Amino acid sequence: MASAEGSGSDPAHNQSTQQVPQSNIEINSPNRFFLSASENPENILVTQPLLGMRNYQSWSRAMVLALTAKKKIGFVNGKITRPEDDSPLYEDWESCNTMVLSWLINSMHFYVSSSIMYCETAREMWLELQRVFSQGNGPKVYNL
């Protein structure tokens, strides 16, 4: 006679090993390349678009907060690096990087975004914006 312990016929045993619903796994996913269904390239993460040097500091702070909330700050601060092209993670990284690039571009005035539109990574774009618009480069930007 088979024991109920191994057969799964014990209701208490079945309840304690039930799977977590898929939606909860997605919401709390530890995957840093996870994108929820509500995240799309048209999203605008900050209400004030980047206009240039005059609002760069407040804009960058707002973007850091928004990207941190979305668990995508690693794409601009360098903590999430590009995997090798043949890595199984490359496609997921590329999707997320492209999404973050879109969010950055959508949060800028067109004359700002047109000058950095062709950066390939969110990190590259972030560093270029920092180089051009941070306060330490005021005289350089003025001369341009």
Q: How far apart are CA 63 and CA 56, in angstroms?
A: 10
More confident site: 120 or 46: 120
Backbone angles phi, psi at 78, to 5 degrees: 90, 0
The pTM is what?
Answer: 0.69
pLDDT at 124 over 80: yes
Mean pLDDT rounded to a whole number for the chain? 78
pLDDT at 14 over 50: no
Beta-strand runs (E) in 91-143: none
**Residue 142 belongs to what H/E stretch?**
helix 138-143
**Residue 94 belongs to what H/E stretch?**
helix 90-106
pLDDT at 13 over 60: no
pLDDT of residue 84: 95
End-to-end CA distance of the chain: 87
Give the SS3 label for residue 5: helix
Condensed to tens digits (0 to 9), the pLDDT of residues 37-81 reads 667 666 776 889 999 999 999 999 999 999 998 899 999 999 999
| The CA-based dihedral angle spanning residues 19, 22, 25, 29, taken in that order and rounded to the nearest 10 degrees | 140
Q: How confident is the model at residue 22 (pLDDT cuts 50, 70, 90)?
A: very low
Q: Which residue has the tokens 């043949």?
A: 86
More confident site: 40 or 112: 112
pLDDT of residue 79: 94
Structure tokens at 98: 């492209």
Q: In this structure, which amino acid lies at residue 140? A: K
Nearest residue to 113 via CA among 95, 125, 99: 125
Condensed to tens digits (0 to 9), the pLDDT of residues 87-108 reads 998 999 999 999 999 999 999 9
